[in-house]
Amino acid sequence: MSKATPFLMFTGRAEEALTFYAASVPGGRIDAIDRYGPGEAGREGSVRFAEATLAGLRVFAIDSPAVHAFDFTPSFSLMLDCADLAEFERLVEVLGEGGGMLMPPGDYGFCSRYAWLNDRFGVSWQVRLA
């Protein structure tokens, strides 16, 4: 095994989520998107496989054509280390909009500023001032 890569499974919102992350997270970009075509397993035009880079981390994503009895869970999250307070506050605000706060911004003893949230797509993020 040479590396591990986070893999996010959406049900129709993969491209929307990756576009949002690429615009919100420093160093974010969508590197590749492969879409379902006519007559294939997924809805035509939805994401068969995508690759993005978020703050230097390679992330894979798909739009699952199957319906599942589960979604994202906060027990797995992406952690962002912020260089300054302004970046911390911006990321908490942008990523948290339309989502839910699990631990609001504060000093929890292990770093001076920390927040844990779910974004509007259900993906969990931990944001901390490094």
Which of 78, 76, 126, 84 lies closest to 102, judged by CA? 126
**Could you read off the pLDDT of 65-111 as tens digits, one per residue?**
998 999 999 999 999 999 999 999 999 999 999 999 999 999 999 99
Domain 77-129 has CATH 3.40.1280.10: no
Distance of CA 97 to the CA centre of its chain: 13
CATH 3.40.1080.10 is the classification of domain 7-63: no
Domain map (residue ranges) of the chain: 7-63, 77-129
Instruction: Specify the 3-state DSSP secondary structure of 46.
Output: coil
Same CATH topology for 7-63 and 77-129?
Answer: yes
| Percent of the chain scoring above 70 in pLDDT | 99
Dig out the tokens for 31 from the structure.
């590197």
Residue 1 has pLDDT above 70, yes or no: no
